[in-house]
Structure 1
Amino acid sequence: MTIGQYYPSNSVVHRADPRFKLLILILFIVTVFFCESFFSFGFMTFFVIVTILLARVPILKVLKGLKMIIIIVLITTLLMTVFYTDPNSKPLAEWGIFHIYLNGIYAAIKLAWRLLLLVLMPTVLTLTSTPTELCDGLESLLSPLKKIKFPVHELALIMSIALRLIPTLIEETDKIMNAQKARGAAFESRNPFKKIKAMLPVLIPLFVSSFRRADDLADAMDSRCYRGAKGRTRMKKLHCRVSDVVALLFWCAVTVCVLFLNYNWFGWGFIAALGL
């Protein structure tokens, strides 16, 4: 699992301001939801690949982040394909109450593509930014909310701790499962009820371990005299660079291009000819 893990490198993406990386991620997510054509999806995928190459992160390491949702994507794609209805066209295949339409296949592919993109970019963000950087960036972006007494620092701290502990909990789960397998747990059984029963000896030690880690963390913070955000300073201050502004403006331009490709505001014929 790659979400929550940091891959050290000296790339331009690693050196970028975390505030701008968070803004670009939000802009990217909004843009992906506006994608309606295969051309626009391919357009966004191209820039995601360029971002991965600029980050100097192994592509296989990024693709590992897709393992946790691949089952969800496959199930969602299958359900979209068999339950899609299109009264204006003839189904390609029929089986009882299920009908498969060509437009249903297209819609299922677009949905799966959208889900994969929505996981890829956050994975790149966590691989190129430490939890501390993301915490500082989020706190800086939400700092105007302090005027209405919103607990910005506490929210950023919770997010930072969660990102840091995700890989640790996954590793702990793997250790517990291996220990239970050695005791004869039926994780490989095809019977779903036996699988659920076998997971109980995993969940209970995992909860106990999680609470123990939370208690240790609270003791560590208390021993370092942590008393909230008031009066605290940062060792590394965030600095905005020209390259960060350029990157944000570039992704704004990408969003405009995607909107133009989807809606063709000026009615240009070559876009309609591409089937967009």
Structure 2
Amino acid sequence: MFDNVIIGQYVPRDSVIHKMDPRAKLLVLLIFIVFLFTSRHPVVLAFAVVLTGTAFLLSKIPVRYFIKGMRFIAILIFFTFLLHLFMTREGTIVVEWSWLTIYSGGLIEGSFIALRLFLLILMASLLTLTTTPIDLTDGMEMLMKPLKIVRVPTHELALMMSIALRFIPTLLGETSKIVKAQMARGANFSKGSLWTRLKSLIPILIPLFVQSFKRAEDLAIAMEARGYGGGEGRTKFRLLSWRKMDSLAVGLFIVFAMLTVVFRFV
């Protein structure tokens, strides 16, 4: 299950999305996150689906690879849908059987929330799947550059966020190895009461924390051995270049943001 998580992984491809400036991709994702949940109008959601679908097709990410990575996320989305389906008591009754009563409002609200979550996760996954950790760090640092006026360490913050994203697949892989090792020694994580299952996680969490701290220490030693001393006075080997495609992408998502504001008051 942990091997199928795709957030934080990079898939090299010769696509339009891969060649985009990381600043443009970060701006697009930021606009999308902020305005996706602003309006629930069908036109806005349809436009969001078109934008997300187009971005996915242009990225040339294999569909099977993405579907395999979405299995775990799909469980969370489905659980969210069921939560709204059974908890929302608005609209007309669609299904009424024994203790089960489903309202049209719950069906609509659950569908909207599930669709929004899916689109949001898809766009966030495309960012890491099509952007190298180095480009992601440079893009974050450039976007946060105005914060240097108030002495915010933008380079260090961007580096920390990039490393955190990069180590998500690594930590999940370590967790999977520890779980398999414990199961080979007779551990059972699926039987017993809730308290028993929680206690059974201790043999997983302790080695995971130890490995995480050791990996962090090794990374710090490696960076110091290579002369890393923060972002002050550092130069760039590769300079970011803004292209017409980047302006077009940001412009389309600005149109999406304007649509959400307009239909919010319709």
Tell me the TM-score normalized by structure 2: 0.90
Deviations, residues 234-263 of structure 1 (Å, cap 9, x unaligned):
211111112211221122223334444554
C-alpha distance 148-37 of structure 1, shift in aligned 2 (>3 A): same
> Distance in 2 between the 1:59 and 1:46 partners?
17
- Tell me which residue corresponds to 1:238: 240
2:17 to 5, 13, 18: 13
> Distance in 1 between the 2:96 and 2:231 partners?
62
Deviation at 1:188, TM superposition (A): 3.5
Secondary structure at the counterpart of residue 100 of structure 1: strand
Where in structure 2 are the equivalents of 1:33-48 lying within 5 Å? 33-48=37-52
- Tell me which residue corresponds to 1:153: 155
Deviations, residues 134-167 of structure 1 (Å, cap 9, x unaligned):
1100100010110110111111010111111111
- Tell me which residue corresponds to 1:81: 85
> Distance in 2 between the 1:161 and 1:217 partners?
10
C-alpha distance 2-90 of structure 1, shift in aligned 2 (>3 A): closer
- Tell me which residue corresponds to 1:214: 216
> Distance in 1 between the 2:93 and 2:16 partners?
49
Deviation at 1:37, TM superposition (A): 3.2
* 2:230 aligned partner, one-letter code: G
Conserved 8 A contact 1:135-1:160: yes
> Distance in 2 between the 1:80 and 1:66 partners?
21
2:36 to 32, 35, 38: 32
What's the Cα RMSD here?
Answer: 2.1
Secondary structure at the counterpart of residue 5 of structure 1: coil
> Distance in 2 between the 1:52 and 1:175 partners?
31
Conserved 8 A contact 1:55-1:128: yes
Conserved 8 A contact 2:84-2:110: yes
Comparing both chains, which one has the higher relative contact order based on Cα–Cα distances under 8 Å and sequence gaps of 6 or more?
A: 2
Deviation at 1:43, TM superposition (A): 2.6
- 173-182 or 188-197, larger mean C-alpha shift: 188-197
Tell me the TM-score normalized by structure 1: 0.87
Deviation at 1:106, TM superposition (A): 0.5
* 1:19 aligned partner, one-letter code: R
> Distance in 2 between the 1:198 and 1:38 partners?
46
1:62 to 41, 62, 66: 66
Conserved 8 A contact 1:65-1:123: no
Structure showing greater Rg = 1
Deviations, residues 27-65 of structure 1 (Å, cap 9, x unaligned):
111231123134432331122111111111112323344
Check if 1:202 corresponds to 2:204: yes
> Distance in 2 between the 1:246 and 1:95 partners?
51
Deviation at 1:191, TM superposition (A): 4.2
- Tell me which residue corresponds to 2:190: 188
Conserved 8 A contact 1:136-1:156: yes
Secondary structure at the counterpart of residue 220 of structure 2: helix
Deviations, residues 197-236 of structure 1 (Å, cap 9, x unaligned):
3221111100000000011011111111211111111211
Secondary structure at the counterpart of residue 250 of structure 1: helix
> Distance in 2 between the 1:187 and 1:102 partners?
38
- The ranges of structure 1 where at least 4 consecutive aligned residues each deviate by more than 4 angstroms after the TM superposition are 93-99, 258-264
Secondary structure at the counterpart of residue 239 of structure 1: coil
Secondary structure at the counterpart of residue 92 of structure 1: strand
Gaps of 5+ in 2: none
Conserved 8 A contact 1:173-1:206: yes
Deviation at 1:94, TM superposition (A): 5.2
Deviations, residues 60-85 of structure 1 (Å, cap 9, x unaligned):
32334433333332222222122212
- Tell me which residue corresponds to 2:167: 165
